[in-house]
A and B are shown apart, each in its own frame.
Chain A
Amino acid sequence: MGIQSLKTGSRSRSVMSGNTLIYPGDFESIATVTVGSGGTSSVEFTSIPGTYSHLQIRAICKNNNTSTGDDSITIQFNSDTGTTYSGHALYGSGSAVSAFGSADMVNGYAGLCNRSNASFASMFTGNVIDILDYANTNKYKTVRSLGGADQNGSGGIIFNSGNWRSTSAVTSIKLVQNFVQYSTFALYGIRG
């Protein structure tokens, strides 16, 4: 996070724990997807330019599962469906804390999606997903996310971290769930 004086416009650094270093003005909107009335089984950003240092996806979402609860969002890069993903998660259910980890998966996990139970009307989860150093061709790629689904008496909050074992620059990102109308995904690039 960076601080910019509203009076003088001067910029200074303020790195807060766990957050990407950002100078206001170096955060750029790339593309946005809002799901229409028919819903969709995935949202994909393609032809992502390599001109930024990091990417961030900010989303609200809900899926078409009519049970109670919430579901993880899966993430894939560059249409890679090989067993090249691994990840960890820390989840709070409102009463207990649990941790998960998996290796050699065909996709990663990033955030939460509310279900469409009748009691969850108008409730959408919030998610912030960071893809770090996505254009670097010398290292595997790391993803982190924070997602939360509160349903006034149920729900959960989750931290995800993930690794995609590829040195390719990320040029496309696919998020998979049966997203319903009004789910919205905005992709940003962070210069550095």
Chain B
Amino acid sequence: MAAGRTYTPIARTTLSTASSTVTFSSISGSYTDLVLVVNSRNAATATCWVTLNSDSGSNYSNTILEGNGSTSVSARQSNQTRGYTTYNSGPVSTNFSFNQIINFMNYSNTTTYKTFLSRANEASRATETLVTLWRSTAAITSIVYESNSNFQAGSTFTLYGIAAA
């Protein structure tokens, strides 16, 4: 019944110097889902986004649910030129970082628009989840994860592939 082991590491980037952009390109279409795991700290207060297949058209939208320990909020963005993924507070303390796991669902099919589910956690600020829609039926072949403040050296970005039977 089982078809084999999966959840395969595709690529991993550990920054040796600060950078505002991490790119995964030439992504194989041989998986069903992609999972991007980020563990990072930014130089300053930062917003993070993804751009898929270099598409900078107004094709991204999202719905957000967030709690910061005292209040909860839900918000929405429509017709964005890149996909918001999270906000973080930057270098609150030396050892604090934020983590994020983004699930790109059925990323290689060419029939449906692409939906991705994300969880982001920053212990000093909030926990957040969001769903993002990219209005394209193209298979995802590249992911640019970027911020308006540099990701610090030592930040890690790992891309996994999950293949269904």
* A residues adjacent to B (C-beta < 8 A): 1, 3-4, 6, 16-19, 22, 24-32, 47, 49, 58-60, 90-97, 122-128, 146-153, 155-157, 159, 182, 184, 186, 188-189
Q: Determine the main DSSP class of B at the interface with A.
A: strand
Complex: chain B residue closest to A24, CB-CB: B7
Residues of chain A with a CB closer than 8 A to B112's CB:
60, 122-124, 182
> Is B32 within 8 A of A58, CB to CB?
yes
| Interface range on chain B (Cβ under 8 Å from partner) | 35 or more
> Is A123 within 8 A of B133, CB to CB?
yes
Complex Cα–Cα for A105 and B64 (A): 28
Complex Cα–Cα for A146 and B99 (A): 17
Chain B CB within 10 Å, residue with most, of A4, A22, A47, A124: A124
Complex Cα–Cα for A140 and B111 (A): 39
> Is A188 within 8 A of B6, CB to CB?
yes
CB-CB contacts of B48-78 with A at 8 A, as 1s and 0s?
Answer: 0000000000000111111000001111101
Complex Cα–Cα for A75 and B117 (A): 20
Chain A CB within 10 Å, residue with most, of B1, B32, B103, B163: B1
Residues of chain A with a CB closer than 8 A to B4's CB:
28-29
Given contacts A24-B7, A58-B103, A60-B105, contact A148 B164 (CB under 8 A): no
* B residues adjacent to A (C-beta < 8 A): 1-9, 11-12, 32-33, 37, 61-66, 72-76, 78-79, 99, 101, 103, 105-106, 109, 111-113, 115-117, 119, 121, 127, 129-133, 135, 137, 158, 160, 162-165
What's the minimum C-beta distance from B34 to chain A, rounded to whole angstroms? 11
What's the minimum C-beta distance from B46 to chain A, rounded to whole angstroms? 19
Complex Cα–Cα for A25 and B8 (A): 7
Given contacts A24-B160, A30-B3, A123-B112, contact A92 B105 (CB under 8 A): no
Given contacts A58-B105, A186-B165, contact A28 B63 (CB under 8 A): no
